[in-house]
Chains A and B, each alone.
Chain A
């Protein structure tokens, strides 16, 4: 562990000079980002503006956050570092969560899967039983960037970065994921769907962070799927992402269904009408056509270089149906 051997707690901050006043810091940062743009390199700024802390327990992380209002947690830094490069101000302390065991593992616990918030997404695909039980969640995590990125990118970072296009989020939401949050008052658990409040913003307080995600293990004849549409096969941001999870009955009729769409609104949107259309019925072409129309209708997309609003709406319908079919095929194969 890092530590100065001079009585500084392991992992905590190794920079002791007086903090630069906030206003001066802002000015210097303005200069800094200009420098980044001009030189193309976010070279180390001035001295030791940003400290680094690597707590090894949840309690230690909570106290680092409580001790500095300018602290920011991070996991893989695959969003965090590029954002600093773009000129976003450095936090006072960057709190690396990856040295806390509970945040970097994944385990089956009774009827649940528990995935540490800082676990690299590559880990998910290495866990055979998880791949078998939540294939849609694993395929969503496997779509995040290249192998290099997947060695680091976490579900916690993907969610808390709060990009509307984050790939793992629709898959977590259709699986009714819960997020366990630590803070000065202890732990609390909320639905994944209520973490993100808009692009770049979450409902977490500044002194809170995500510890882990909890997913129910699927009952019989239940499966999930996630599909993303991008203009190329790798390394791009979703034009639309669609997650689906459903449970079939013995006769192949839909018993429960959940559909969530990414990149088509400021936050992930559900398609609640899918349940009304499908529950109690087989997945006929006619029923799925109605689901597609409902999926298109709930979108509130933007126009950008990846697609127009109309295009995104249409693709959302198509992708929702494909994800449902894939989930249904998988659910049928899981047998009774």
Chain B
């Protein structure tokens, strides 16, 4: 079986993998690369559990064909924690009890990061729109929204005043 060879950057590291032409990036990341942080909730773009940042834009990796990742930069939840510990969003989710079963959590974290990357000071409405593509069946969203707002506040405090 002839497969496509993809060279890309995943969470800052150069990566290569082989995939089928009709395999999704979600399946390639999980089954070939071994990154289990991208989850499959629906496989049709509705739930956001598979969220990854592809070339700077938040996407559902279940709606991307794996060969499209050629030369791309991909960020997943695995790349969020730094050498000094968890990302402020991850800390805030733990602190704020923003998860129960946790299957949606990587998607919310990645969507939250995509939001804070472009808007460090979102209001509640902006947060709610930014996570509208992510479904959670457990928490009722409120704690997730508050945790993202908390993380944003913490990150603004930690950032050198401009």
Q: Which of A's residues lie within 8 Å of B, judged by CB?
A: 1-2, 4, 14-17, 40-45, 47-52, 54, 76-78, 81-82, 84-85, 90, 94, 96, 98, 120, 122, 145-149, 151-152, 233-235
Contact = CB atoms under 8 A, between A and B. Distances in A.
Interface in B1-29: 1-6, 20-24, 27
Contacts of B46: 235
B86 interface: no
Q: Which range contains the number of B residues in contact with the other chain?
A: 35 or more
Given A16-B2, A77-B65, A82-B44, A44 B22 contact: yes
B133 interface: yes
27 contacts: A2-B4, A2-B5, A2-B67, A14-B2, A14-B3, A14-B67, A15-B21, A40-B43, A41-B43, A44-B20, A44-B23, A45-B22, A47-B1, A47-B20, A48-B3, A52-B4, A52-B65, A77-B64, A78-B63, A85-B44, A90-B22, A94-B22, A147-B132, A148-B133, A151-B58, A233-B132, A235-B133
Interface string B64-81: 110110110000000000
Contacts of A233: 132
A49 B22 contact: yes
A14 B21 contact: yes
Contact of A148 (B24, B40, B59): B59
A151 B132 CA distance: 14
A172 B58 CA distance: 26
A131 to B, nearest CB: 16
A281 B114 CA distance: 48
Given A4-B5, A44-B22, 4 more contacts: A43-B27, A48-B21, A51-B21, A235-B132
A162 B64 CA distance: 21
B59 A151 contact: yes
